[in-house]
Chains A and B, each alone.
Chain A
Amino acid sequence: MEKKSSPFSLIMQYAGSHNNKYVCSVILAIISVVCGMVPYFAVAKMVTAMTGHEDKDLSFFAGWCTAAAVGYIAKGIFNGISTGVSHTATYLTMKEIRLKLISKLTRMPMGTILGSPSGYYKDVIVDRVEGIEVPLAHLLPEMTANVLAPVLMLIYLFTLDWRLALISLITIPVGMAVMSTTMKSYGENYGKSVEIGGRMTNAIVEYMGGIEVIKAFSQSKSSYEKYETAVNDNAAFFYGWMKSAQWAMSAYNAITPSVLLTVLPFGFLFYSSGSLSAESFITMIIISLGLLEPLIAAMNYTDNIARVGTVMGQINDVLASPEISRTDKDRDISGNTIEFRNVTFSYDDEKEALKNVSLLIPEGKVTALVGASGSGKSTVAKLIAGFWDVNDGELLIGGRNVRDIPLEVQAGRIAYVEQNNFLFDETVMENIRKGRASATDEEVIAAAKAAGCDEFIRGLDKSYHTVVGSAGGHLSGGERQRIAIARAMLKDAPIVILDEATAYIDPENEAVIQNAIAKLVQGKTVIVIAHRLSTITDADNIIVMNDGAVAAHGKHKELLENSELYRSMWQAHTGTKGGAAE
């Protein structure tokens, strides 16, 4: 019971101000149920009059038929409004949940979000939440109505004849007993079904994701066979499971609502022994017909409860995940010197990505971070950019601990340029203007010129008004990168972080990108992560990272003399470097 109640308390919590709508919907549903019982009483009245050979005139029948009609109409209207209100409350609740999730995203470490597959949050915010619409909208009013109606009718049956009323309940435990025979193996089968379904999904994902490789390596036959087997196994398993469980489900569905199975024979026995009047008996038959419909409907809700529960669990996982801890006081920083004091950081609480790192990045200088992959150089850059909070130690910008400055202030001082730059599904103009919302068109175009993208932008279908981004625009990686650089130029932030920004993303246009970057970094505090050591030999300071710690730092020449690690990196680099340096 504990498990079943929790999704509802969660929903109530999210529904917030819409709770009264649900209450209203339930009340309407109850009214609808009561109205829906009127026709049964009307018919019972008419039939008992007929079988009792009372000589009623047509107006008697007309009266009760009208009552039945009014009951039906009222039932329809109240039920319709109840479902409508409940749907409204559900849509509003879904909206609240989505807005909560969205605002949660802004408080989570950026790194957590960027580290998840891009579809994950969309899946939770859009699809998962969508999935609760139908169960939630129908659950409360209909569940109430469908449980309440049989209960009310039963109470009435008990007032007519308690023995027969009790007997009418027999089919319920019998049906459940039959059903429970399959529940024993349910857990086991469910586990297996998840496994086999998962295997099929993996086979499909691999076959489709790897189809190029599969074809290129002439493995389409064997891979296809694997795929086919997984698909067939899945279908066969589910069918087999159904085959073993179906008869019990069918029995449950047939027996449980068949109250007539007991009411008819026992009622007749009571009648023939004289302990039950024909009138009461007929009334009870008619009323028990009314038990059927809601009982069948109520049976279908157990699934829905489970589904809502699962979804609420997933939503809660997101809402309960750790948040970035920053002050919300509006404080500014003076100066752009960056300092790490004994900083320790771990992505997963297992392996420390940075171990007790202390380093200084002076204002107005170019500092290069070098080291092997996994050495921690990217982590240093990401911490400066505010993707994560440090676990231990202090990160200071302009002499102030970043925990004491709002993330917006920190982010506002930094331009972070990486290989994969995100563009919004808007025009080129608007994408660049994101750098500074107040920039005029002329300023945007000037930034684009400086970043070397004016020319190709003018070659696009609608020039600066071409829509780019995920949906269309067919921009190459290098073109996207230059737009991102233009955006950063417009922002004119005092600290510039270049995260592998000069890598071979678009070799044809590498020189243009390099020129753009040279303009971007002029006069700034620059932190550059670069693989090609030759690009950073002139840096004011080079920090050599190794295994989450600072191994050495200094200028290129000093490091060549003092650091064996740097020397070997330099040799490896110059060994492969073709071209002018030779």
Chain B
Amino acid sequence: MISAFRKIWDFAGSEQKNIKTSIVLALLHSVFYALQFAAVFVILKALTGEDRSKINALYAFGIMAVSVIGRIVLNTYSQLQRVHAGYFMVANKRISIGNKLRTVPMGYFSKNNPGQMTAITTTTLTDVENTAPVVLVTILGGFINSVVFALSVLLFDRRIGIIVFIGMAAFIWTTSLQEKHSRKGAPERQRAQETVVEKVLEAVQGISVIKSFHLGETSDSAVKSAIEKSCDKNLAIEKQMTPYQIFQQIVLNLFAVIIMIVSAVLYKNGSMELADAVMMFVASFMVFEQMKSAGISIATLRIAESSIDKANETDNVPVMDEGGKSISLTSHDIAFENVDFSYGERKILDNISFDIKEKTTTAIVGPSGSGKTTMCSLIAHFWDVNSGRVTIGGNDVREFTLDSLMKNISMVFQNVYLFSDTVENNIKFGFPNATHEQVVEAAKKACCHDFIMQLPNGYDTVLEEGGTSLSGGERQRLSIARAILKDSPIIILDEATANVDPENEDRLQAAIEALMEDKTIIMIAHRLKTVRKADQILVLDSGHIVQHGTHAELEKQEGIYSRFIRQREQAESWHIAGQNA
């Protein structure tokens, strides 16, 4: 439990002072809450003393009014501090995650789905916002309140005060007992829940397979049994926990009864005054209230803790040293010098060296998994090399700031991302100062103009997030228009990803050719036409450059390249025969 408090406390960061203030105010709040005892005591004193003067009514009302007004004021400020802490500590975490993403290696995002991080930043952090500060203030405040109550009882009557303290200790003990047991069941419950998620996702995403292969029943039963199992787990835990919950509830109440018994005995043997004894009877109902609500909140503490743990996972994202300089280049020659690169344990590139002259086209060919994509992404410094270096215009890519490096490079991405902004703003994303005419010109070159004009508001049409209202090819061409407008001297592209919309292949090809005009091109090539025209071809196999030259040179050698050419010829001339053929 202490570790959970610690986590929330650390998480709060600069909002710690607000939480502190909130707890102090909550403490004062409890003093005003306790004033109710004083009001009751005034009346009891008068009743037992047969004092019928009406002024007592005024006293009682006065004290109660002070108690209520004090509680309103202190609760307002205590809550506001707490709410401030909740919203702003989460806002700060969100901002720090956003800030961190600026220094994460670009390659991280091609390997990891950003969806996970988005989910943490939105949903998980909202959970933290709603639970962490409430729980901290309720539990800590509740415990402190109880101690204040107990202390005031102690001052009132030492013997009863001691009973109150013992009662609180017993409650804490049963609570931690319950806590321990509920923790035991939690992982199993979690696993059952995860299975439900998995099976439901499978049933949804695989619905066409399930239906077409008659899997309705078997797959249904998999989901159903996952749901049944998760339900059974919950029921089992509930059953197991019920006695503890009952025990926890009863403990405090039994101590309330002990207070009654002791007060009665003390009154009977004359060592406690009548009014005091009556007061203690009344107090037995109220003295443990705060403790109880603090105890109930412990379940929420667990939720807060696990949400914070999840949010803190974002701390494990790798960062790259961002200490580069802003370099402007005069030449755009690219060179790999003895580059080694491993992803985790796996060696991807092994001692790679080659040169690319500026304004030439280099085609990279090789089987899947040979390291083509990795090689391209090292040029853009998506990752740090393990040894050797990658240079552009003679400068190591590690010496650049990301911004000054990326100014020189356009990449045609596998996943085109469009913002929920107008078409125009999407195109000029990399060049915010572009005029409308420049945007249109780029769109025309990328063969986007026609379909843009058919959108409801032309260039001012606001796209859905991710651009889902457009076809794959249209999105791809918009991203090419964006790259054309950016006009970087180096273009990196994978021909396969440029073929997402086979129906408009011709227009995509035209767009790509417009982009490539007069540039330094590195492309993962699949089309025969492309490799034939390339100035140089690099043939990669298992992280090594095994062949290197022009089409004319390599065609004659027996090797991967000639095999590649034969396969491509076969693939490109393939057709489905008619059944009568």
Contacts and interface: CB of A to CB of B under 8 A. Distances in A.
Nearest to B429: A217
B330 interface: no
Contacts of A506: 368, 496
Given A65-B264, A217-B429, A373-B503, A535 B574 contact: yes
Interface string A542-582: 00000000000000000000000000000011011111111
B274 interface: yes
A540 B578 contact: yes
B352 to A, nearest CB: 19
A437 B570 CA distance: 35
B204 interface: yes
Contacts of B505: 531-532, 573, 576
A271 B502 contact: no
A204 B122 contact: yes
Interface stretch (B165-173, B404-412, B435-443): B404-412
A10 interface: no
Given A207-B101, A234-B91, A408-B216, A95 B231 contact: yes
A212 B569 CA distance: 35
Nearest to B231: A95
A151 interface: no
Contact of A425 (B202, B228, B249, B413): B202
Interface in B38-78: 39-40, 43-44, 46-48, 52-54, 56-58, 60-61, 64-65, 67-68, 71-73, 75-76
B266 to A, nearest CB: 11
B285 interface: yes
A168 interface: no
B385 interface: no
A364 B262 CA distance: 96
A50 B466 contact: no
B204 A47 contact: no
Interface stretch (B5-13, B80-88, B179-187, B544-552): B80-88
Contact of A517 (B43, B118, B206, B576): B576
Interface stretch (B154-162, B219-227, B332-340, B514-522): B219-227
A293 B289 contact: yes
Contacts of B75: 250, 253-254
A371 to B, nearest CB: 8
Interface string B136-175: 0000000000000000000000000000000000000000
A491 interface: yes
Interface in B514-571: 526-530, 532, 567-571
A218 B406 CA distance: 6
Interface stretch (B207-215, B305-313, B353-361): B207-215
Contacts of A242: 79-80, 83
Interface string A420-462: 0110110000000011010000000000000000000000000
B284 A511 contact: no
Contact of A285 (B282, B419, B581): B282
Interface residues of A, number: 176
A218 B403 contact: yes
A202 B420 contact: yes
A368 B223 CA distance: 38
A511 B260 contact: no
B117 interface: yes
B250 A73 contact: yes
A411 interface: yes
Contacts of A207: 98, 101
B457 interface: no
Nearest to A86: B238
A83 interface: yes
Interface string B223-251: 11001100100110011001101110110
Interface string A476-505: 101000000001000100000010101111
A250 B209 CA distance: 56
A578 B220 contact: no
Contacts of A500: 502
Given A470-B201, A476-B368, A511-B567, A113 B80 contact: no
A424 to B, nearest CB: 6
A511 B576 CA distance: 13
B502 A532 contact: yes
Given A103-B220, A272-B57, A424-B206, 10 more contacts: A46-B281, A216-B411, A254-B71, A278-B47, A281-B47, A286-B282, A286-B285, A374-B471, A385-B208, A538-B577
8 contacts: A43-B284, A105-B204, A258-B64, A260-B40, A411-B211, A416-B212, A425-B202, A534-B575
